[in-house]
Structure 1
Amino acid sequence: MTKTALITGASSGIGKACAHTFAEQGYHLILVGRRAALLEQLADQLKTSHTIEVKVLQVDVRDKEELTYKLGTLSPQWKKVDVLINNAGLSQGLDPIDKGNTDDWDTMIDTNIKGLLYVTKIVSTWMVERKKGHIINIGSIAGKEVYANGNVYCATKHAVDALNKAMRIDLLPHGIKVTGIHPGAVETEFSIVRFKGDEARAKKVYDGFEPLVAQDIAEAIWFAVSRPAHVNVNDMLIMPTAQANGNLIKRD
């Protein structure tokens, strides 16, 4: 039987890589993101390359009302979500706490924590009704350690780490798996977003070493999802070989 995966932040980076990986495995896909043109382009590509159906939902996960409405309008068949990948997330700025931009803080908290919760609240309800499902929450090494000037971003990813554990407890009676995936340095649009479009500054983040790429994380997610029914991968911390922790990277 064909399964369905819902992926947030699907227009680029890890979300897009997951869309390709799960399409290759024959999953129907619900692609959620803010950039409609990119989502439609991805959907067309996937439907051309694979025998699957793809549904596109243009919505910002921070917008609780619109998100609730758009997910609510899905047909009963599309609500049979087997895998939820909570990938939408970002970092804004890299300032010490006394110089932080409170608008940036709101954006990170609203996206990384509240947006994840809004999506999970709705989709987990569908999973509970079916007594099965798998929730993948994309965290970060920043959810395991705190680094200089990472303050609020690290706090949001620590919250995701706590929510992984809480969801696993709350959803245990319903047979729903919960997995936390925590990447180290991955070269995607992440740093461009953090530095608000400053591509030169973003590029320097990855100078002198080989970072992870989005496909590395997508493959790790697929590994977790493809385990037998009695096996759950609770937590996975994935780093480039050149990175020892949140702060220490060997650069050539």
Structure 2
Amino acid sequence: MNLALLLAFDGTRFNGSQRQPNRRTVQGELETAIGRITDRSPEELGLKLAGRTDAGVHARGMVVNFATERDKVNWVKALNGLLPPDIAIISAKEAPRDFHSRYRAIGRTYQYRVLNRETPDPLGRLYKYHLPGELDKETMKRAWSRLLGKNDFAAFCSTGSPPRSTLCTVTRAEMEEEGNELIFSISAQSFLYHMVRRLVGSILEVGKGRMEESHFFSLLEGRGKSGPTAPPEGLTLMEVSYPSPWGWDSSF
């Protein structure tokens, strides 16, 4: 059967989600735990991830899938008993044979949290970016909302493997305030490498008055230089969504 898992992880001590030689990764830990149940090597397992996250980035709604003949296993209980405490399986279910956690996804939602006050939060330092100082929040909200729709995000893509296209369609772009925290939410079918963190880094430059709002808008046409890449700890993959023909809904 084709088994799909919904999981959450604290990315602080991981070198990203995707397997890397001699590095601790989410995929590596999953493959080790699943291998103990199935007696299959990582190559035989063929574990597929819905997306890649960088070192220090967290997830509440990562989806993975793999083929297995072990249909009598309580996968949630079994894997949570084998996995380290910074990964948890939330649910597991059989998926259609042609389901692929990455290629069948129709949307991904990320959230970035900024603590905007003078004093840091020692207990939350691994899950939000501390930024003291005044910010022009109204201008930031207006600029962030302009991300909606189809734009060229070439200016927000870090160097690395060149994407086939730098055009992305954003279906949700919201900035909210909760006390001293700023919460940036963004949804799209796919994202470029470091795109969300560079968008946040740029919008914070707008808030500080170091970047004109008009320059931020020009970046959405693929022109100019973006702001710095925001640190990884504030970013969380919240959800991966799939179309209903595969029996999935937005809450997995």
- The verdict on a shared fold, with TM-score over 0.5 as the criterion, is no
Bigger proportion of residues as strand:
2
TM-score of the aligned structures, taking structure 2 as reference length? 0.26
Name which structure has the greater RCO, CA cutoff 8 Å, separation 6+. Answer: 2
TM-score, normalised relative to structure 1: 0.26
The structure carrying a bigger helix percent of its residues is 1
